């Protein structure tokens, strides 16, 4: 019987900007499956939208518990979740439930695979060979959870299948845009998520941390990349998003916080490299730096452009958004400066500041 790869795709119908990337990624996986004699099936998880959750606040309050864990590495991530984060976690939980149910059908075998993938998962051209090698060599007997978003290329392989034990290298998962999970582990994780404490990536990581018997591994070479952490699209769950996989963004950020020597000329060069992405996160960061440089009008224009891009690309603009607050605040600063200027004696009003 042909082995199947069953992909449970987490998507919001409102996130129109993500659909091209999502469809491209699915096509790449389907093509690789056809090449290696897998049956490819996709199941979209579109329930539990933020708009649906607005009317279920009392139900949500019953399953939320922000109690500390006693582990500072996780407790610092316990904070009031927004509806988008709740939506993402409940979609993940729904995917786990469907995996458990599907695995019990008589047509399924122990060799069939179950993947949960978010709609910002990308497979870059240089990663496609990693996907092919992964599907050819994959053995289901040595893991319970298999992350596709971890890269540890300098680590020795741990067996003929080339899988790495993640526990030895990280406590908190760097990403969760794509992973495979065995039905038994899916059932246990689904049950653990009956009480919500953190955003999914952190609660998933904590569940793995306190359940040492769960075998969590990854291929030696990365297969997927989280597009919202590169700048191809904004996050749909976090108001303030770091582009941790974008080298130019991170260099600008390190200079802004004085982690490395500040050099505005270099920052301008870095921004020119990423400018074509029209990433609202990168634009926001550059606007903050322009503000630091005293270039208030340029900063204001950058904040406004970033906010427009954020809305256009289905990102979050809310009261907790630093971008929105900075855009509002800089208008006040410029207005204050303008008020001071209008009060100057007329002989000074033609001076260029």
Alpha-carbon torsion 22, 24, 29, 31, what sign? positive
Distance of CA 98 to CAs 8, 101, 144, 177, 329, Å?
8, 5, 17, 18, 46
Q: Are 307 and 327 in contact (CB under 8 A)?
A: yes
- Asked whether the predicted pLDDT for residue 21 surpasses 60, the reply is yes
* Average pLDDT of the segment spanning 261-277: 98
pLDDT tens-digit readout, 68-108: 999 999 999 999 999 999 999 999 999 999 999 999 999 99
Q: Which of 94-98, 136-140, 217-221 has the highest mean pLDDT?
A: 94-98
Q: Per residue in 101-128, pLDDT tens?
A: 999 999 999 899 999 999 999 999 999 9
Report pLDDT for 138.
87
Query: Angle between the 183-192 and 83-103 helix axes, to the nearest 10 degrees?
Result: 140
Contact indicator for 162, 237 with CB cutoff of 8 Å: no
106 neighbors 1 (Cβ within 8 angstroms): no
End-to-end CA distance of the chain: 76
Q: What percentage of the chain exceeds 90 in pLDDT? A: 80
Please state, in angstroms and rounded to a whole number, the distance separating the CA atoms of residues 127 and 150.
12
Q: Is the pLDDT confidence value at 156 over 80?
A: no
Beta-carbon contacts of residue 56 (< 8 Å; ≥ 6 apart): none
| Pick from 17-31, 145-159, 217-231: least confident | 145-159
Is 70 in a helix, a strand, or coil?
coil
Residue 154 pLDDT exceeds 80: no
> Is residue 5 within 8 Å of residue 39, measured between CB atoms?
yes
Q: Is residue 346 pLDDT above 50, yes or no?
A: no
């Amino acid at each position: 019987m042909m082995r199947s790869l069953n992909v449970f795709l987490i998507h919001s119908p409102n996130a129109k900007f993500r659909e091209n990337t999502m469809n491209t990624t699915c096509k790449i996986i389907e093509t690789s499956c056809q090449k290696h004699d897998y049956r490819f099936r996709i199941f979209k998880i579109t329930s539990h939208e933020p708009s649906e959750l607005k009317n279920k606040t009392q139900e949500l309050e019953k399953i939320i518990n922000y109690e500390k864990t006693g582990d500072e590495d996780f407790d610092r991530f316990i904070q009031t979740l927004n509806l988008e984060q709740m939506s993402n976690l409940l979609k993940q939980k729904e995917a786990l439930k469907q995996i458990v149910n599907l695995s019990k059908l008589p047509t399924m075998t122990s060799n069939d695979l179950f993947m949960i993938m978010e709609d910002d998962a990308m497979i870059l051209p240089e990663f496609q060979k990693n996907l092919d090698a992964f599907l050819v060599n994959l053995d289901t007997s040595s893991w319970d959870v298999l992350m596709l978003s971890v890269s540890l290329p300098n680590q020795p392989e741990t067996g003929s299948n080339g899988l790495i034990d993640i526990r030895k290298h990280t406590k908190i998962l760097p990403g969760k845009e794509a992973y495979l999970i065995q039905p038994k582990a899916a059932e246990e994780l689904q049950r653990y998520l009956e009480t919500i404490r953190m955003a999914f990536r952190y609660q998933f990581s904590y569940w793995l941390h306190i359940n040492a018997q769960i075998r969590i591994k990854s291929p030696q070479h990365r297969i997927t990349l989280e597009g919202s952490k590169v700048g191809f699209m904004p996050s749909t769950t976090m108001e303030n998003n770091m582009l941790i996989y974008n080298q130019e963004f991170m260099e600008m950020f390190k200079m802004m916080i004085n982690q490395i020597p500040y050099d505005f000329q270099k920052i301008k060069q870095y921004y020119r490299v990423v400018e074509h992405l029209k990433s609202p996160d990168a634009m926001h960061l550059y606007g903050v730096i322009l503000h630091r440089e005293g270039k208030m009008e340029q900063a204001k224009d950058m904040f406004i452009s970033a906010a427009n891009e954020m809305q256009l690309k289905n990102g979050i603009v809310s009261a907790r958004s630093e971008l929105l607050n900075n855009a509002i605040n800089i208008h006040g600063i410029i207005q204050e400066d303008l008020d001071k200027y209008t009060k100057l004696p007329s002989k000074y009003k033609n001076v260029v500041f």
